[in-house]
Structure 1
Amino acid sequence: MFCDRFGYPILQDRFRDALRRMCKNTGVPYHSKHPAHAFRHTHVKRLDEAGISETAIQQRIGHTKGSKITRIYTHSDEIMRKDTINIYAEYKRVKNI
């Protein structure tokens, strides 16, 4: 829930209109079916990229352990795959494996 400058709740339609305008002005795709829910996905993805444990992420967003939804939110992207390779290569180098 968001409040306006006077402390009153912003109505859902007004929030969506503002979000739609911001997306249009910045070139970010607007998801008309669940516009605000995209923030949840982004937050979970950023927590995962930061190295936060899956358990901590699940607790933060209210999911149960091993939740299919959490696994979907934290799917690997190209950057994470490359980081994983680099981290493992450095580990092997340090351990002289």
Structure 2
Amino acid sequence: MSPEIRQAWLTAGNWVIANWPWIATTIAAGFATWAIRRCLTGDDYRSRNDKAAAWRLLCDDPPNEETQPGTDSDDLLTCLQILRATDTARKED
């Protein structure tokens, strides 16, 4: 390791050691801001669950062997309507 790189590491380490209270305060303030924002907006688990259910219904089910590919557009439209309805309903609450 060259002396310049070693000195840079020591300088950076000394800076962190000297400023650790400010670093810790900044991290704590960021976490507090995130937590308060999450509490105020609420964790809307219902929307996430509805979206996940619509996605599973739309994309994760095995294809129906009795139908031809591309003929299940009614199912697709139903899933998209459910997805749109959950988005708008949750935003109005």
TM score, norm. by length of structure 1? 0.24
Q: Which has the larger radius of gyration?
A: 2
Instruction: Looking at secondary structure, tell me which structure has more helix per residue.
Output: 2
Q: Which has the higher contact order (CA 8 A, sep 6+)?
A: 2
